[in-house]
Structure 1
Amino acid sequence: MRFLFLTTGSHVTVYAMTALAHAVRNAGHEVLVATNEPLIDAVETVGLPGVSITSASIRRFLATVDSPHEMVVTGRGLGRMAAATLAGLSELAQDWRPDVIVGSSMSYAAGLLAAARDVPFVRHIEYLRIPMAEIDPVAAEELAPELSRRGLGGLPKPDLVVDVSPPSLRSSPAADVHPMRYVATNPQRRLQRWAYTRPPGRSRVLITSGTHHRMLAGRSLRRLAAQLTAVGAEVVIAAPTRVAEEFGATAEDVRIGWIPLDTVAPTCDLAVHHGGATTTMAVIAAGVPQVITPPNTHTRAIADALSNFGAAVTARAPHQADHELADVLAAHSRELLADHRYARQAQALAAELAALPTPADVVRRMETLTATR
């Protein structure tokens, strides 16, 4: 069988769907991942065959937004983006005829293409607290002309919804949702021994703000690291090269650079970050408590869900100077390292994820979809 994966929004959607795409290939099926030009490098990095569907019309659309991340939180933008990709996707589906189409949660073109091809449509909910109930109606309104031309009264309903959220944090425990274990995926690097072993006799704190958000400037990042090493912790800062260069020389108990979270997170006792979906899910899967300083509405929803469960603390500091935020994060970090209740709750969430069906289990479920058509 042929499975066409469609991703939209940010690198998060690519990394979140990678485990399922690899499981499909490992089951002996063919896979293609179709995405927009800004994300094609992520597809290549995780070892999947990728096709860019960026056309002249979608390039014009991308030029109207400040960042691709803007499209993740606006149904109107996502609807426009879906409309702009339909022609390219239809041509792709003529050249490479899919038997099943798997779309990321906000890839509205996936459902439209599946309806046009009369093949099963799988919607992949790739991270926590996506406000689909708010975004879907706006996207449907924006897509009204495309829906009307295809004789559709609304957005096509998926044949299967896959959700990687821990059950305790799921926004809506709908009966038609098929849970799947989250498998952390990210670009890799050659590993040194410290990256997969715990430091003997001391705690380790992971600090990261992903690849797009800047949580702290260099001097304030050093301030946070210094306060953590002062209480005996080793500090690991996962950061792009430009941030590592700005940080400068490190002490023996501070490491900074590109660090694969899937390997390093399980060796840590605490993670301090901005609440990005990929980071959060990787840390949840590792069973590590979190200090989160969320920069926007969606990351605040993620942070609040974890904090309410007792596996994290939310540091709300939108108007504080960087050095003040560093002090707040350091204080929360010391609190969580000293209070083992947070670690117990984090480990409970990790156990929930580990008990969910594997991507291979979900592949077997998807294989049955074509028999019902």
Structure 2
Amino acid sequence: MRVLFVSRGSAAPVFGLVPLATAARNAGHEVLVTSTEDMVPVVTSVGLPVVPVSERSEEDYGVRGRDGTPLAFPERGAREQRLFAGGWYGRLAAGCLDGLRDLTCYWRPDLIVGGRLDYAAALLASSIGVPFARQAVDIGEWSEVDEGAAAELAPELARLGVDAVPGPDLAIEICPPSLRPAGAPETEYMRWRPGNTQRRVEPWMLTRGSRPRVVVTAGSRATPEQHVDYLRPLIEAVHGLGAEVLVAVPGALAEAVAPIAGRSRVGWIPLDVVAPTCDLFVHHAGGTTSFAAMDSGVPQLVVPEEDATFDLGRRMDAAGVAIALHPDDLTARSASDACRRLLQEPSYRVRAAEAAAEIRSMTPPSETVRRLEKLAG
């Protein structure tokens, strides 16, 4: 069968779809990935074929409306931020539809797979009449984001004769059942596997030293312009622990962070490779980062950058695998105190190990491909 994977325009959602796309390809199926033009190097770096369907970046859709009006992400309010994100991803979906339809004129898929917020996948599947599978790429449920997307996509939905973004024929969840909120819809579960870009593995990545090892990261989208001040108190906090510190950041940010990182290792570090040797992850509530830590049973300090994602950290906090610290409460002292608790109180490592065992018990991507085959008929 032909399977089209539709991803948004940033690295994390691409990484989230890689395991299932690779499994489908390994099972003998034809696979194509679509995203924005600037994501082409990211997709090719993980060994998958890609077709760009928008010359504009995801970031550009977030700062300009359809008519070119400048837009700004709300500074406060979880609901306001989620509704804005829905409009953002809705504009991105609308901007990709022409490219997607052009692709299906000469390469018609039997099945379309999209990430949880990749609304173009649902619209395309509905318009050409093929099944649609939706895969989660983090632990979010995002109903308010869906609401914002539906409002932005009103013209496209009207042309389809519907008033909401079409639901999936198959919903695939990667969040362990124990971490999902009460009342969450039924779904099929798939085991999280890493799909991030790699680099040359060095011996230090695979071995533990005499000190605790702590990873600090702001994710694959972090930039020098936006994230130096975010990382500063986190790096200062872990330096006070006497730990070995790994500052995992994209190359462009590494140089800007180096002056405050001291003797830490700084740069692009494949989290899935180093995670089994780590004692603590300190991060922004990113999906890839959260799962890399949980998969290896590593406790986490989660400091979301915005109100919209604080709920993700709060759910991990409630499950006992992390401490969530609101951005308003972030100081080097508060972060240091939280890190000490995570390193010293055994309950966090015990609960993180239980979450890792739960992840290992879930259906692997290779078996989920069989479910896709049935869906495609």
TM-score by length of 1: 0.87
Matched, 1:38 2:38: yes
Partner Cα separation in structure 1 for residue 255 and residue 60 of structure 2: 34
Q: Name 1:76's counterpart in structure 2.
A: 87
- In structure 2, which of residues 104, 113, 117 is the aligned counterpart of residue 93 of structure 1? 104
Aligned twin of 1:308: 318
- Of 166-175 and 97-106, more deviation after overlay is shown by 166-175
Q: Secondary structure at the match of 2:98?
A: helix
Cα 1:172–1:55 change in 2 (3 A) is farther
Give 1:202's aligned residue: 211
Return the letter of the residue paired with 1:224: A
Where does 1:253-272 land on structure 2 (aligned, <5 Å)?
254-272=264-282
- Alignment check: 8 A CA contact 1:129 1:171 kept: no
The amino acid that maps onto 1:160 is L
2:129 alignment partner, one of 118, 125, 138: 118
Q: Secondary structure at the match of 2:134?
A: strand
Q: Distance in 2 between matches of 1:156 and 1:146?
A: 11
**Superposition deviation, residue 176 in structure 1:** 4.0
**Within the alignment, does 1:7 sit opposite 2:7 as a pair?**
yes
Shift of 1:244: 3.5
1:159 and 2:172 matched = no
- Tell me, in whole angstroms, the C-alpha distance in 2 between the residues paired with 1:159 and 1:303: 29
User: Which of 333, 344, 347 is matched with 2:350 structurally?
Assistant: 344
- Give the aligned partner of residue 49 of structure 1: 49
For the residues of structure 1 that align with 2:277 and 2:326, how far apart are their CA atoms?
A: 27
Q: CA RMSD in A?
A: 2.7
Per mean C-alpha deviation after superposition, the further-off stretch among 168-177 and 330-339 is 168-177
| Alignment partner, residue 223 of structure 1 | 236
List aligned pairs for 1:122-161, cutoff 5 A.
122-131=133-142, 133-161=143-171
Residues 10, 173 of structure 1: alpha-carbon distance in 2 compared, 3 angstrom cutoff: farther
Instruction: Give the aligned length.
Output: 359
Equivalent-residue separation in structure 1 for 2:82 and 2:147 (angstroms):
15
Give CA-to-partner distance per residue, 1:154-196, whole Å, 9 cap, x none. Answer: 3222110011111111236656411100112211111111101
Q: Which moved more, 1:41-50 or 1:259-268?
A: 41-50
- DSSP 3-state at the match of 1:165: coil
1:346 positional shift: 0.7
- CA distance in structure 2 between the partners assigned to 1:195 and 1:53 by the alignment: 37
Distance change in 2, residues 1:310/1:51 (3 Å): same
Post-superposition shift, 1:205? Answer: 1.4
304-313 or 329-338, larger mean C-alpha shift: 329-338
CA distance in structure 1 between the aligned counterparts of 2:233 and 2:164, rounded to whole angstroms: 49
Segment of structure 1 superposing worse, 215-224 or 139-148:
215-224
Q: Classify the secondary structure of the residue corresponding to 1:147.
A: helix
Q: What does the per-residue CA deviation read over 1:40-73, in whole Å, with 9 as the maximum and x for residues that have no partner?
A: 2221221111111015799984661569xx8995
**Contact between 2:36 and 2:56, CA under 8 Å: does it hold in 1?**
no
Matched residue, 1:335: 341
DSSP 3-state at the match of 1:368: helix
Q: Deviation string for 1:108-128 (max 9, x for gaps)?
A: 121121122211100111111
1:283–1:73 Cα change, 3 Å: farther
Looking at structure 1, the residues matched to 255 and 58 of structure 2 have their Cα atoms a distance apart, in angstroms, of 35
Structure 1 residue 237 and structure 2 residue 243: aligned?
Answer: no
Q: Distance in 2 between matches of 1:340 and 1:195?
A: 24
Secondary structure, aligned partner of 1:74: helix
Instruction: Quote the offset at 1:152 in angstroms.
Output: 3.3
Q: Which whole-Å CA distance do the structure 2 matches of 1:215 and 1:6 have between them?
A: 31
Match of 2:200 in 1: 190
Say which of 346, 369, 373 aligns to 2:375: 369
Q: Is the 8 A contact 1:72 1:106 kept in 2?
A: no
Task: Name the CA shift for 1:350/1:241 in 2 (closer, same or farther; >3 Å).
Answer: same
The code of the aligned residue for 1:119 comes to: V
Distance 1:56 1:211 in 2: 19
- CA offsets, 1:320-353, max 9 Å, x none? 5xxxx22222221122111111000111111111
Q: Shift of the alpha carbon at 1:36?
A: 1.4
8 A Cα contact 2:299 2:322, kept in partner: yes
Q: Structure 2 CA distance, aligned partners of 1:72 and 1:279?
A: 24
Aligned to 2:78: none
Of 96-105 and 49-58, more deviation after overlay is shown by: 49-58
Q: 1:12 aligns to what SS in structure 2?
A: helix
Identical counterparts, % of pairs? 40
Structure 2 residue identity aligned to 1:331: D
SS of 1:53's equivalent in the other structure is strand
CA deviation map 1:121-152 (0-9, x unaligned): 00111111231x22223322332332232333
Please say if residues 167 and 173 of structure 1, whose CA atoms lie closer than 8 Å, have aligned partners that are also in contact: no
Aligned mates of 2:321, 2:58 — CA distance in 1? 40
Q: TM-score, normalised by structure 2?
A: 0.87
Partner of 1:20: 20
